[in-house]
Amino acid sequence: MTSELVVCPGCRTRTGDRLELRTLERAGEVLACECGRRYPIIDGVPIVLGDPTGFLHNAIAAVVERDLAPEVAALLVEHGPDDHPYAQLLEHLSIYLDAHWGDRAAPPPDHAAFGARELAERIARLPRVERAVELGCSAGRIVAELAASADHVVGLDLQFGAVRRARRLLDGERLAYSRRLAGRHYAAAAISAGDLAVPAARRTLLCADALDPPLVPGHYDRVVALNLLDSVARPRLLLAVMDGLCRPGGELILASPYAWQSTVMDDRERIGDADPAAALTAILRDGTGLGSRYRIEEAAEVSWTLRRDARSAVAYRAHFLRARKT
């Protein structure tokens, strides 16, 4: 990983129109700031959170969770309960590794293979830029697609287990994982990114909060958040963060099925009523709550499918937007 564009979220301060930032420097297995704050690097992935209490949650996933053989991991969760953190992690990884890399998996998923296909194909067709960032990168497939048209890509996600595996796949490693069959029963599968591996010098992966990213504002030509808007507590704040990261003339790329959930956000945080797509389009065009207005350059409906187990999948129709900062 590279730390040249990673800033300390703990001492970042704004005075009037002035934003003061300190860049983090690597010192062994930590990223260190002149202010004295330090951020751990575990298995090649920095955990950079403004609230240090988040370290413990991620440390459990990072230290306790190891590279277990799929059959051993499955055995650990077989006898329950369903809501145990490790059982939930295994289910999460099964869903998103198949969704992101199902076309590179062996054996391939039995159904709903490669649920991110339409999104990946759209990203792969983008024109070249210097810098891109994906908020909510999960298992890393879109980071790989972005790297084909960007000199450097940053990917961040709050789920350490997913980012850790993204790092391994993008490094070109073969990744064994557990694919859910039914309940807490799993079978072994494996993924190789192949030609989609991305050299470490051309990408940065972080375990970080998309609503408080440790990144330099106004620095990115392309800011991406796919199927994240309805998965954060404050969707409008996410839009403001994306706007803040985007340089003048740059672009935002969003996709969302607007599958709002009360367990994720308060009702008043939801965008729009019966037509969230129209409401989001208006927010971007008018610059409501943002620092700039945006010109919509592409709008489409795309499929997004998540395989849950051998007999079930959730199929979404996601609203896709590409908007230029004016």
For the segment 147-174, what is each residue's pLDDT rounded down to a tens digit?
A: 999 999 999 999 999 999 999 999 999 9
pLDDT digits (tens, 9 = 90+) for 270-310: 999 999 999 999 999 999 999 999 999 999 999 999 999 99
The answer, yes or no, to whether residue 210 has pLDDT greater than 80, is: yes
Closest CA to 150 of 214, 218, 225, 202: 202
pLDDT at 2 (0 to 100): 54
Give the ranges where 111-202 is alpha helix by DSSP (H).
117-124, 141-147, 160-170
How many degrees, rounded to 5, is the angle at CA 251 between CA 246 and CA 255?
105
CB-CB contact of 315 with 292 (8 Å): no
Tens digit of pLDDT for each residue in 88-138? 999 999 999 999 999 999 999 999 889 999 999 999 999 999 999 999 999
Q: For residue range 27-73, list pLDDT tens digits in order.
A: 999 999 999 999 999 889 999 998 877 666 655 555 556 677 888 98
Length of the chain (residues): 326
Q: What is the pLDDT of residue 64?
A: 58
Cα four-point dihedral sign 169, 225, 116, 57: positive
Mind listing the pLDDT tens digit for each residue in 222-260?
A: 999 999 999 999 999 999 999 999 999 999 999 999 999
pLDDT recorded at residue 15: 78
Query: How far is Cα 45 from Cα 64, in angstroms, rounded to an integer?
Result: 15
CATH class of 13-325: alpha beta
Residue type (1 letter), 264: V
Q: Which residue has the higher pLDDT, 312 or 5?
A: 312
Cα angle value 102/106/109 (rounded, 5°)? 45
Taking the CB of residue 236, how many other CB atoms lie within 10 A of it?
Answer: 16
Q: Return the amino acid letter for 93.
A: L
For residue 14, what pLDDT is reported? Answer: 81
> How many CA atoms within 13 Å lie on the side-chain side of 214?
33
Best CA proximity match to 222, nearest among 255, 245, 197? 245
Q: Is residue 204 scored above 80 in pLDDT?
A: yes
Q: Domain coordinates of the chain in residue numbers?
A: 13-325
Q: Is the pLDDT of residue 3 over 70?
A: no
Structure tokens that stand for 192 in this block: 């190789």
- How far apart (Å, rounded) are the C-alpha atoms in residues 95 and 37? 35
pLDDT of residue 61: 56
Question: What is the distance of C-alpha 155 from the center of its chain?
Answer: 6
* pLDDT of 180 higher than 90: yes
pLDDT higher than threshold 60 for residue 186: yes
pTM of the shown model: 0.95
